[in-house]
Chain A
Amino acid sequence: MTQYRVSADIGGTFTDIVIEPSDGPVFVGKVPTTPDNPAVGVVNGIRELVPNLEDISFFVHGTTVGLNAFLERRGERVLLITTAGLGDAYTIARGNRHTLYELRYQKPEQLVPRRDVHEVRGRLAWDGSEIEPLNAADFQPIVDKVKAEGINAVAVCFVHAYAHPQHELAAREILAAALPGVSISLSHEIAREWREYERASSAVMNAYVAPVVERYLKSLRGELHDLGMQATVHIMQSNGGVSTAETAQKHPVFTLLSGPVGGTIAGTALAASGGRKNLLCVDMGGTSFDLSLVMDGHANATLETELEGLPLLMSIIDIETIGTGGGSIAWMENGAMRVGPHSAGSIPGPACYGRGGTQPTVTDANLFLGRLGEKSLLGGDMSLDKQAATTAIESLAPEAGLDSTAFAEGVLSISNAAMADAMRTITISQGVDPREFALVAFGGAGPMAAAFLAEELDIREVVVPRFPGTFSAWGMLQTDLRHDFTQSFFRAAATVVGADLDAVFEELEANGREAILSEGVAEADISFQRSADMRYLGQEYSINVLLDSNDTEAIGKAFHAAHERRYGHSSPGAPVEFVNLRVAAFGALKKYGNEDPGASGDAAMLGERQVVFAGKTLTTPIVARDSLSTDYKGAGPLVIEEQSATTVVPPGWHVTIDKLGSIVLTREEG
């Protein structure tokens, strides 16, 4: 009997579903998201595609439920407990400014107001020695307040707990006994890194979203179970792995960015099977686009990020958001022509959506120039108003002294150049050259702009994967269980021998093995990746170095090389220290991996359109994506349409289909 591996990516507007049957090629679906209870949309979507939920062997999903609760500030009221004398470190938030030219600058609004930050006595020194024992009596007024005011979540962050957690652990005992049912987040369990403000912020975020995520996961598990699904519910984590919903409920902050990382993981899967090791992954929607990097086959990750100015310490796929998209508005100022940063968003949206927008946007320009067809969106389910786009463009073109065609193409040239500029700056700050990358374009708007962005960046190859509109959901099916474990390890590298490292790593791996086994994976399918955070003595920030042996000399060399790559220089003679040892524990998940036989025979022509490229109107064939076989050879000008996206191929670009079914665009030399 056919079994199904199923993934769902719950976005703000649509829930994307990808199904991998045990005996056939992958297929996809897209249903409206049901914001009040996202589980309803997921269940609806799955039932349309899978006849019987009992046949689902694996289910994973990504969700923005926690993230949205944060962005809309509808999380749980949190009370923060800190070390006596130092509670304001959280409110001061390190005293820095994010933007420097603002007289009326305001710090990011913290999730816990000052009135709910409380201090208790008890103090450890930097080396863990106890200066003052934890004062249990100080908890009493706090406990009273939590009870009296019905607070459901408490976060605890004591100084030096990243290395010496004894007071935080004691605090939990006191709180758990006095406050049954209240969720308690300890800073050292969220992040074992120094910097008390950042750690407190991470623990608070966890406490803030915990009840929301827990309620949601409970509801989703219940509904799927009621419908007969036996498979465990898995959830995507920000680190690029998956975890069971049950485990995720303990530290929901780790799932905060579970949606967008799917695209990057999908990129690594392409890299693993397609031979391209360096990818710039571009996920473009209506108001912004997400950029992430796959380097040498690995998703570029970071140990720290910020959400609306609030820091989070955790292992996370590094995704940069750039505020340009199909909704970016063109406008005039003192004779200058600008595009963005204002966006028409989805309401009213571009003029051509016919929802009241009157200003010309990037999408209007694409439609006006024929790159997008009036019936191109959602396989024709959404029709676009070309007249409205034309009116919007004609209303502004004279002010720029341009005819409408030149104006519309100008809108795209300006926005493409600006997006490429932003992408280039990001790659330069990572120490890489975009020309050594292939560009992977997905999301609804990515494939339309991809070739133009590649031209700006001097990139010669563009890949549009199968099902570009549901690529993130597909990525979720390519990943494995993953749990991260960290132990602080402050030692000068010169004093460390391999056995010291092994002792710590083996303990971390034992924890990892236990976690993965408890999620139902066999011993043989468990693997580990060891890494160390290291730095030159005296530096504040460390670099994470992947380790494949315990040979300290080789580890030193790997650190110098990583430093060279990240910062452009290294000091091989200088003393190095260890900061943290980390283990990522993986539990391999079975994938069916059926080859998609793809199409055979000739490409299906959908017709022709007049499309403007570089000022010339060219009669351009429109072909159906689903009809393109691996034998297909095409060339621009060409437009390739499918359910979820439109790929525009300008003159000078060649088209082939690779064995994974991806559209591959390559630029002619010279």
Chain B
Amino acid sequence: MANVDPVTTEIIRNAFVSIAKDMNATLIRSAFTPVIYEGKDCSVALIDPEGEVLGQSLGLPLFLGNLEICVKLIAEQHGWDYFKEGDVFYMNDSYMTGTHLNDSTIIMPIFWGGERVGFAASRAHWLDVGAKDPGTPVDSHEIYQEGMRWGPTRLYDGGEPREDVIDLLRRNSRFGDATVGDMNAQVAAGRTGEKRMQALFDRFGADTIWSARDEIFRQTEAREREAVSALPDGVYTAEGFLDNDGLGSDPLPVKLALTVTGDAMSVDLDGSASQAKGPVNCGITQTIAAARVAYKLLICSDVSPNGGSFRPLEVLAPEGTIFSAQEPAACGWYFSSLGLLIDLVIKALAPIMPDKAAGAHYGDSMVITVAGADPRNDDQFYLMIEPTTGGWGASRGRDGQSSLINNVNGSFKDIPVEIFESKYPLRLTRYGILPDSGGAGEWRGGNGTYREYLVEADSDLFLWFERSVTTGWGLFDGGAGSKPVVVVERPDEEEVLELLKVNGVKVPKGTVIRSHTGGGGGYGKARERDPAAVREDLIDGYVTRESARDVYGVEFDAEMNVDTEATARLRSG
């Protein structure tokens, strides 16, 4: 192996990351569906011949560091010689890729001078892959209800497209053309990676590139081990609950023990819920990815991940749990447990990383779906699906954000009122930040969101709201955020429904749907919050006068100035 100077190493390191960015730009530019080009529900990676990451674009957080596992799984199944020049593989099997069947992984081997020098891989959310209901059903109990399931399958064989296979993909989606369009966008991203990787080899040659790679991995691993070494050894635990499995089960525990030993860290999920009947399971690949996201939020957050990343981290999930799903477990809403897992890793580490940790956030995507016939549009079928924002946890020196999308989401943006009302027979009557919903603290948790819908044509309502059992907890005596709830008032019906998860309830014209999402946890004691900050919150309407007095112990005079004496009395009492 050549000995490579630090200049060449740095140029090659930047080039790996840049190749991944170019692949990502290509994918986003040519994708057909907004969930990719607008929501950025996708991720790409450039991978070396042994299945280690060379460069990755920081796309959807939950897709961090699981593409290379897919490459290794194919090699495990078929051997490394299975990959031929010009092949393109497709796979979406939840038990291999870890996520739900909509997430489609495409892998292309890259060759240079007849030699396999790496892989270009991408994953993107396809709108529909032929589940029993449009999109992702909320009441599935077997994976077969969630769409077509594919192991590693060649879409291109030695450079030739397999039209019969692509045709099968097209026929098994409610939006077949968009599916093939998004597939082509992923192939185009792979081609971009292939071209640039080959140009890099033309410039530097294999020996130099592999020596540089070894050095890059060494540097990254050294930095991360240094950061982990700085943490005190010990076992740190945390536990929380998912509300249920979507089919009416009891709360499902998520339990972790995090062990720091020298420069290594392990996350053991022993004691977490057994595989559930409802669609809240995920494959082990995705569990590893989620643990990596949590780790990345706290350790070397600014370093672009590569094969040297995550080496100090080991993830253990016993077989038969919701984190290591086996056939035929349903996986459609795989991410709810993972958002909780990420929050819990941070909670476990909070005592030894008090400056970096934050209280828990409101917790999940809080998805509302309304569907029916749109009378304004010849009674054509309409489908409105949207996640809802909520409050994030506070951290030392910083209040949590109000009405921000949850941690496992990508570049989500809410649907503007003007677009919403133009597209759907629904009116948005109220949308705002819910005062007092964030956990109190020296630093205040962010507030949750309310969104009120008036149904203007007979429709059906579907909901996936979570985290009412384990709400956004605080840290260091900070208070917890409030819990989510959805209230439905139908005309001509006495009963007001309070719901969180539901699969199709009739909502006739005139129904009002009010959703509230939870707040984030506070940080530190509420009574130690600077009274001036409480005053600002009161003026801006983030807390009410009652909670300013009762929770924060701050009293105001008639001019809205802090009454110092009364405050001192309240706080000493």
Give, as a whole number of angstroms, the nearest-CB distance from B513 to chain A. Answer: 14
Chain A nearest Cβ from B468, distance in angstroms = 20
B243 to chain A, nearest CB (A): 22
A569 to B358, CA, bound (A): 43
User: Which listed residue (B10, B296, B422) contacts A414, Cβ 8 A?
Assistant: B10
Can you identify 26 A-B contacts, CB atoms within 8 angstroms?
Answer: A91-B433, A92-B431, A92-B449, A95-B389, A97-B411, A100-B61, A103-B297, A106-B398, A115-B541, A159-B421, A195-B419, A196-B416, A334-B226, A335-B218, A336-B6, A336-B216, A400-B7, A402-B7, A410-B6, A414-B14, A417-B15, A428-B26, A428-B29, A429-B25, A568-B29, A569-B184
A residues 108-134 near B (Cβ < 8 Å) are 113-115, 125-126
Contacts of B177 in A (CB 8 A): 571
Nearest chain B CB to A629 CB, angstrom units = 38
**Which residues of B, 283-307, contact A by the 8 Å Cβ criterion?**
293, 296-298, 301
- Binary contact readout B405-432 vs A (1 if CB under 8 angstroms, 0 otherwise): 1000011111011110110000111111
Docked CA distance A330–B188 (Å): 36
Q: Which residue of A lies closest to B397 (CB)?
A: A104
B181 touches A569 (CB 8 A): yes
Verify if B539 is at the interface (C-beta below 8 Å from A).
yes
Are B449 and A95 touching (Cβ within 8 A)? yes
- Residues 626-650 of A, flagged 1 when their CB comes within 8 A of B and 0 if not, give 0000000000000000000000000
Interface residue stretch chosen among A16-24, A69-77, A418-426: A418-426
Interface members, chain B 387-404 (any A CB < 8 Å)? 389, 392, 395, 398, 401-404
Contact of A95 among B59, B215, B410, B413 (CB under 8 A): B413
- For residue B99, CB closer than 8 A to chain A, the reply is no
Among B1-60, those with CB < 8 Å from A are 5-7, 9-11, 13-15, 17-18, 21-22, 25-26, 28-30, 32, 34, 37-38, 58-60
B571 CB within 8 Å of chain A:
no
* B540 in contact (CB, < 8 A): yes
Complexed CA–CA distance, A520 and B411 (Å): 47
The chain B residue sitting closest to A160, CB to CB, is B418
Question: Looking across the interface, which residue of chain B has its beta carbon closest to that of A100?
Answer: B61
**9 further A-B pairs in the complex, CB-CB below 8 A; given A194-B418, A424-B18, A567-B30:** A85-B452, A103-B357, A336-B9, A410-B5, A425-B18, A425-B22, A540-B38, A568-B26, A568-B188
B interface: dominant SS: helix
A287 at interface by CB-CB < 8 Å: no
* A-chain residues with CB within 8 Å of residue B17 when the two chains form the complex: 421
Interchain CA distance A105-B542 in the complex, whole Å: 18
Q: Give chain A's interface residue range (CB within 8 Å of chain B).
A: 35 or more
CB distance from A353 to the nearest CB of B (A): 25
Number of A-B contacts (CB under 8 A): 203
Q: Which residue of B lies closest to A400 (CB)?
A: B6
> Of B185, B418, B539, which is within 8 A of A196 by CB?
B418
- State whether the Cβ of A59 lies closer than 8 Å to any Cβ in chain B: no
Query: What are the 3 A-B residue pairs with the smallest beta carbon separation, nearest first?
Result: A410-B7, A88-B432, A95-B389
CB distance from A103 to the nearest CB of B (A): 5
Question: Which residues of chain A from 59 to 92 have any CB-CB distance to chain B below 8 Å in the complex?
Answer: 85-89, 91-92
Asked if B356 is at the interface of the complex by the 8 Å CB criterion, the answer is yes
**Which residues of A have CB within 8 Å of B414?**
92, 94-96
Whether B275 is near chain A, meaning CB under 8 Å from some CB there, is no
Q: In the docked arrangement, what's the CA distance between A504 and B43, Å?
A: 44
Distance in angstroms between the alpha carbons of A413 and B15 in the assembled complex: 12
Chain A residue numbers with a CB within 8 Å of B403 are 88, 91-92, 95
Once bound together, how far apart are the Cα atoms of A94 and B541, in whole Å?
A: 19
Chain A positions within 8 Å of B389 at CB level: 92, 95
CA distance A198 to B298 in the complex (A): 33
Residues of B within 8 Å of A, CB-based: how many?
81
Quote the shortest CB–CB distance from B423 to chain A (angstroms): 8
Q: Are B405 and A96 in contact (CB under 8 A)?
A: yes
Among A85, A107, A402, A566, the residue within 8 A (CB) of B401 is A107
Contact B32 A540 (CB under 8 A): no
- By a beta-carbon cutoff of 8 Å, the part of chain B in contact with chain A is 5-7, 9-11, 13-15, 17-18, 21-22, 25-26, 28-30, 32, 34, 37-38, 58-61, 177, 181, 184-185, 188, 192, 215-216, 218-219, 222-223, 226, 293, 296-298, 301, 346, 356-358, 389, 392, 395, 398, 401-405, 410-414, 416-419, 421-422, 427-433, 449, 452, 539-542
Closest chain A residue to B393 by CB distance?
Answer: A103
On whether A418 and B14 interact (CB within 8 A), knowing A96-B411, A126-B422, A424-B22, the answer reads yes
CA distance A88 to B437 in the complex (A): 15
With A88-B432, A92-B449, A336-B13 as contacts: A196 and B417 at CB distance below 8 Å:
yes
- B222 in contact with A97 (CB, 8 Å): no
Measured CB to CB, the nearest residue on chain A to B399 is A106
Rounded to whole Å, the gap between the CB of B106 and the closest CB of chain A is: 16
> Is A377 positioned at the interface, with any CB of B under 8 Å from its CB?
no
Q: How far is the CB of B455 from chain A (nearest CB, A)?
A: 15
Q: Which residues of chain A have C-beta atoms less than 8 A from B293's C-beta? A: 101
Cβ-based interface call for A303 (8 A): no
Complex alpha-carbon distance, A402 and B6, angstroms: 9
Report chain A residues within 8 Å CB of B429.
85
Name A88's contact: one of B58, B59, B412, B431 (CB within 8 Å).
B431
Q: Could you tell me the distance between the alpha carbons of A98 and B222 in the complex, rounded to whole angstroms? A: 29
Residues of B within 8 A of A102 (CB): 297, 301
A548 close to chain B: CB less than 8 A: no
| B418 contact set on A, CB distance < 8 A | 126, 159-160, 162, 194-196
Task: Give CA–CA (A622, B564) in the complex, Å.
Answer: 73
Q: B416 — nearest CB in chain A belongs to which residue? A: A195
* CB of A578 closer than 8 Å to a CB of B: no
Interface string of A8-42 (1 = CB under 8 A from B): 00000000000000000000000000000000000
Q: How far is the CB of A200 from chain B (nearest CB, A)?
A: 10
Q: How far is the CB of A574 from chain B (nearest CB, A)?
A: 9
Complex formed: what's the CA distance from A85 to B22 in Å? 42
Indicate if A48 sits at the interface (CB-CB under 8 A).
Answer: no
* Alpha-carbon separation in the docked complex, A320 to B380 (Å): 42
Complex Cα spacing A94 to B387, Å: 12
Q: Are A414 and B431 in contact (CB under 8 A)?
A: no
Closest chain B CB from A393 CB (angstroms): 13
| A338 at interface, CB cutoff 8 A | yes
A residues near B18, Cβ cutoff 8 Å: 421-422, 424-425
A101–B309 Cα distance when bound, in Å, is: 15
Chain B's nearest CB lies how many Å from the CB of A569? Answer: 6
Instruction: Tell me the complex Cα distance, A401–B9, Å.
Output: 13
Cβ–Cβ < 8 Å partners of A407 in chain B? 7
In the complex, A244→B562 CA distance in Å? 50
CB-defined contacts of B421 to chain A, threshold 8 Å:
125-126, 159-160
- In the assembled complex, which residues on chain B have CB atoms less than 8 Å from the CB atom of A335? 6, 215, 218-219, 222
